[in-house]
Structure 1
């Protein structure tokens, strides 16, 4: 079943799993964790964060180090390996995959958006994990000599912050009442107050609580500029020859959000197929659901949607890799196209998972149904702002019509 499902992405997976090296090893280690992550998922959901044992397992497997530069002791994998490892975690528990994908992209932000002295300070301690929120719910700041003071601010959806040593919080720089740019303030996670307000119907184990900061001074060396990164301007001069840290900022930051959703889709298919032999179809002659033509149609459609999504996401990862490896800047319309395609792929994942829920019959109503957690997680993942289809469709359509972009590319 897995060989058929992977379809057009078999070669990408073969390159990273069979091909050996650090990339293949980390994917294999992620796959080995699937059973234990499934066993712990109920506890993670109840706690609203990942257990210490899971964090320790991910650390030991190098799954928080995929985007840390090799010069600082990280794995510095390619983006396809990053994808395959997170997808594997998502088959076990999408909340675990969510935390892993977010901490890894944040470690990438930390590596790429700050000057050498800052990254060298942070990564001088092995096993660093970083949380981040790019936009505040509210924030008041002021410019002072040598940096900024954040007087008070609140940031929501801070995934992985319970398990991170460092925090990056975005805030607008306002001068004379005019918005100049959006900054990204780096600070020890001990400087933030956890509001413990994460109580959701999906991705519960991610612990994506809101946080508050009051009266914190941030020196200029700890101020990142996402707006410059979107233009291909990175202050991390020590990484100028490392293509991974010159990848297109916005497309990379978006596709990694789809990795856990893809894992949820594959995990949902696993759960459906595992339970198939145990079920009949009530009020029909079918004692085994596996014998019913309607089931064959449902599996065919759901798996096609999930496989198509995987092909789209894998193609986007490969395109970002090729462009960065060539030392080229990705054109704005191509960046918008990747955003559009990723939003479309995520919608396909949700439709595939929902089709499997439809095929599960009345038993799906049980809170203990093994598919239910994946269904909730896939739905919540699809609601992330960067993946909303109407937003990314409009963005691409406007640019195709020669109009200015309405969102980040």
Structure 2
């Protein structure tokens, strides 16, 4: 059954698509695009019901992200990234949820999780400084999740040993968004700008150890037993991003078929009578569909395992990560096959096909789509061998 949020996205799909060029030109989502996304409720899919969310199955969340990305890749990307943050926030101290959503359940939270800052421990919390790139959707968010290394307490900005990574949450008043820091060839409308923090105090209840979220055990500390909030970070965070990439490829495929229907090639033959172009389109459709099915299957299997009380093993997580990476590459590879057969008009700026193509390839640049470490870790896990510590971070 299609989730109601997906239905609302489809109802506004034509307008979302019409706004995509504006978003690209702005270098961020337009206010109207954000209004449509808020109205549809995409960002609240994984949010607790107690704070106006749906607590939806992660499969439904992924399908909602895909639905948005089919119309506008940048909007889909923001939904995939920002939409995961309510899921993590729900696993933290309830005081933080009240601060963020108490007055407005439609408050959005941005992120970059890379540990580009140092959080020096002080009485009652931490003092944080650093600079983080790629804060998607930051112009429309009032809080930001930031990755940070725990400091050693000497006040000199040195990390503690062994290394401990924290996720900390700051209000908009505590960080600066750097204008002009997002000038890119694709996904321009995501507004993934740099943010800077200079000695901001972070109360301890606004911080969480990355390891606890990674292992899916953070929620237990606060008596939260819902299946949704016991899933591993390394499965949930990539889900939104890869869903956006697959949705972009679905949108490109639909546009390709629509444009080729009446196209006449330079040979004078109608493309719909060209078996080579149609073969490529059919094969691409199968590859994109396979990516969608495999991604949804992976997170559904983990959810079912958690719901039945079974332990999600490192091998389970490594399998889902391997497949998630492959889904993205398979879908974009299929897009390449149809783009090269879309004719010269596909490269014109006024043809959305070239934007889909650019957005999809920029989506592959995200670290969660790098195949080497994910495939390597999966092979080791399949052999029953211990993963080296750095390799466990995204597994």
TM range (shorter): over 0.9
Cα root mean square deviation, aligned: 1.6
Displacement after TM superposition at 1:230 (Å): 2.1
Tell me the equivalent position of 2:123: 145
Tell me the equivalent position of 2:97: 119
Say which of 358, 365, 370 aligns to 1:376: 358
Tell me the equivalent position of 2:252: 268
Q: Counterpart of 1:178 in 2: which secondary structure?
A: coil
1-side partners of 2:236 and 2:43: how far apart?
Answer: 17
Q: Does 1:184 align with 2:162?
A: no
Say whether the 8 Å CA contact 2:13–2:68 is kept in structure 1.
Answer: yes
Displacement after TM superposition at 1:200 (Å): 1.0
Say whether the 8 Å CA contact 2:219–2:225 is kept in structure 1.
Answer: no
Tell me the equivalent position of 2:156: none
Query: Aligned pair in 2 of structure 1 residues 365, 73: CA closer, same or farther (>3 Å)?
Result: closer
Say whether the 8 Å CA contact 2:77–2:244 is kept in structure 1.
Answer: yes
Tell me the equivalent position of 1:217: 201
2-side partners of 1:260 and 1:136: how far apart?
Answer: 24
Say whether the 8 Å CA contact 1:50–1:205 is kept in structure 2.
Answer: yes
Say whether the 8 Å CA contact 2:47–2:87 is kept in structure 1.
Answer: yes
Tell me the equivalent position of 1:60: 39
Q: Counterpart of 1:229 in 2: which secondary structure?
A: helix
2-side partners of 1:235 and 1:86: how far apart?
Answer: 25
- Residues 63-212 of structure 1 correspond to what in structure 2 (within 5 A)? 63-112=42-91, 114-126=92-104, 127-137=106-116, 139-150=117-128, 152-175=129-152, 177-196=160-179, 197-212=181-196
Q: Counterpart of 1:338 in 2: which secondary structure?
A: helix
2-side partners of 1:92 and 1:250: how far apart?
Answer: 27
Count of aligned pairs: 383
Tell me the equivalent position of 2:157: none
Query: Aligned pair in 2 of structure 1 residues 125, 324: CA closer, same or farther (>3 Å)?
Result: farther
2-side partners of 1:362 and 1:407: how far apart?
Answer: 45
1-side partners of 2:143 and 2:7: how far apart?
Answer: 28
Tell me the equivalent position of 1:246: 230
Displacement after TM superposition at 1:260 (Å): 0.5
Say whether the 8 Å CA contact 1:346–1:387 is kept in structure 2.
Answer: yes
When structure 1 is superposed on structure 2, of 167-176 and 29-38 the one drifting more is 167-176
Task: With the length of structure 2 as denominator, give the TM-score of the two structures.
Answer: 0.93
When structure 1 is superposed on structure 2, of 87-96 and 363-372 the one drifting more is 363-372
2-side partners of 1:243 and 1:172: how far apart?
Answer: 29
2-side partners of 1:235 and 1:337: how far apart?
Answer: 24
Q: Does 1:344 align with 2:326?
A: yes
Say whether the 8 Å CA contact 2:110–2:144 is kept in structure 1.
Answer: yes
Say whether the 8 Å CA contact 2:262–2:272 is kept in structure 1.
Answer: no
Q: Counterpart of 1:201 in 2: which secondary structure?
A: coil
Structure 2 residue runs of 5 or longer lacking an equivalent are 154-159
Tell me the equivalent position of 1:366: 348
Provide Cα deviations, 1:50-71, integer angstroms capped at 9, x if missing partner. Answer: 0111111111121221111001
Query: Aligned pair in 2 of structure 1 residues 366, 239: CA closer, same or farther (>3 Å)?
Result: farther
Say whether the 8 Å CA contact 2:115–2:165 is kept in structure 1.
Answer: no
1-side partners of 2:284 and 2:374: how far apart?
Answer: 23
2-side partners of 1:262 and 1:206: how far apart?
Answer: 16
Query: Aligned pair in 2 of structure 1 residues 143, 241: CA closer, same or farther (>3 Å)?
Result: closer
Q: Does 1:385 align with 2:362?
A: no
Displacement after TM superposition at 1:131 (Å): 0.9
Tell me the equivalent position of 1:329: 311
